[in-house]
Amino acid sequence: MKRTIPTALGASAAVALALTACSGGGDAAGGGEPADGPVTLTLAGWSLASTPEFQTIADAYSAENPDVTVEVVEYPAGNDYDTALVADLAAGTAPDVYIIKNLKNYLTFQTGNQLLDISDVAADLDPATGGLEHYEVEDGGTYAVPYRQDSWVLFYNQDLFEQAGVAVPDGSWTWDDYAQAARDLTAAFTAEGSSAVGTYQHNWQSTLQGFALAQAPGADLFGGDYSWLAPYYERSLALQEEGAQTDYGTITTNSLTYQAQFGTQQAAMLPMGTWYAATLITQQESGEADDFAWGVAPIPQHDSSTTGTDATPVTFGDPTGMGINPAIDDAKVEAAKDFVRFAVGEGGAQALAEIGITPALLNDAVLDAYLGLEGMPTDELSRFAFQEHDTKPENPVAPETAAVQNILNDAHSAIMSGSVSVEDGLAEAENRVASEVGIG
């Protein structure tokens, strides 16, 4: 099944508009009798041809519960997912179960009565489930639970490092070490007549602001002072100007993808979420990506206090959650809760790990399945990078999160494109947060 919708309205604006204008009756479902006989549930997903996790979970659940069929409904990818989903929630045509892509709009859905209270499901889950604590809201209820927890790491091309004569990451890197490696790699490639560069930083705000929020001393999304972002921008802009990092304008104008830039060896390093491991393996198998040796290292750190394999590197990554549409047929509520419980538990975690997706529950058995996937790097540093990290949320759950992040996204575009200086861009963001959000 596939669902598409025009996407002229921005995702955040659509969420705020639709959820303010329309209440889904959050307590309407949940008191009905369980269905007597076969049940069909619908689950929202996106990019189904290249993102197999939704069908994988659906099939794994149905294999254990043959009376329940889970049909995956395809929505647009990216920010357009929220836009289309919100329209369907308002129209009463949304799937029974849907994905909360990140924490940014979680409260917007919850306060708009577009999520069923599933505190009973949360109570049954392993407390070690990554990101579970972020879904409990002020009223003490839980309205979504995480089925996957990606963390941002550093992917690197071992062959390009060897070709350039540059030492590969060893787990001890700060961002300054990373920047120097990018310069050294680029210089070696240029001398060889290659157009490859040292690193690729995608144009999302998270590729810079997420790290700064997690690592920088004094970082506070709601503090109203965003000077802690400045060193991260200054370093990134310097790499752009030196040609060691793909230019933001080039990425945006040419609609470059991080998968193609790293996968076709146009960049030797890529800061990216752990989800990319499965994509890279699949693309190397299909020939869409080149055949080269690669590894994963901890993301570079703000300073040396959290570097080395005897420390825990600090990174970021929002959990990806799953919630239930409160407009679901009462007779299907218990089946939907059971499906969500499975998806977030060991059954779903094992199924995801076997296709290279990082589940929220990452116990020893699940980790072994994940790292045992054919094509996954097997060196000790890669295992360490996948397993050990202090993962901070990119979008701390708060009523102001979406508004502040939208303003900071505007600042990111302006600064990285060179439209404004770092100082002026951050000052403008501070002024807008003060006037539009009331912080500062």
% of the chain beyond a pLDDT of 70 = 92
- Rounded distance between C-alpha atoms, residue 154 and residue 162, angstroms: 17
Query: Which token pair is 229?
Result: 């972002």
Report DSSP state, residue 427.
Answer: H
**How do residues 212-259 score in pLDDT, each as one tens digit?**
999 999 999 999 999 999 999 999 999 999 999 999 999 999 999 999
- Residue 187 CB coordination number (10 Å): 16
Is 57 strand, coil or helix? helix
Q: What angle in degrees, to the nearest 10, is found between the helix axes of 422-432 and 230-242?
A: 140
Q: Which domains does the chain have, with CATH numbers?
A: 11-150+318-362 (3.40.190.10), 152-313+396-437 (3.40.190.10)
Query: Which token pair is 239?
Result: 């790499």
How confident is the model over 374-390, as a mean pLDDT?
93
- Rounded distance between C-alpha atoms, residue 403 and residue 108, angstroms: 11
Q: For 333, phi and psi rounded to 5 degrees?
A: -60, -50
Comparing CA positions, the residue from 404, 395, 419 lying closest to residue 237 is 419
pLDDT value for 190? 98
pTM, entire model? 0.84
Is 401 strand, coil or helix? helix
pLDDT value for 32? 55
Listed in sequence order, the residues at least 6 apart from 424 whose beta carbon sits closer than 8 Å to its beta carbon are none
Distance between alpha carbon 382 and the CA centroid of its chain, in Å?
19
**How do residues 275-288 score in pLDDT, each as one tens digit?**
999 889 989 999 99
Burial of 409 (0-12, 13-18, 19+ CB in 10 A): middle
pLDDT value for 1? 52
Query: Which token pair is 46?
Result: 């996106």
pLDDT-based confidence at 417, cuts 50/70/90?
A: very high
Q: Answer yes or no: are the C-beta atoms of 163 and 359 closer than 8 Å.
A: no
Cα–Cα–Cα angle for 221, 274, 399, nearest 5°? 25
Q: What residues form DSSP beta bridges with 68? A: 39
Q: What radius of gyration do the chain's Cα atoms show?
A: 22
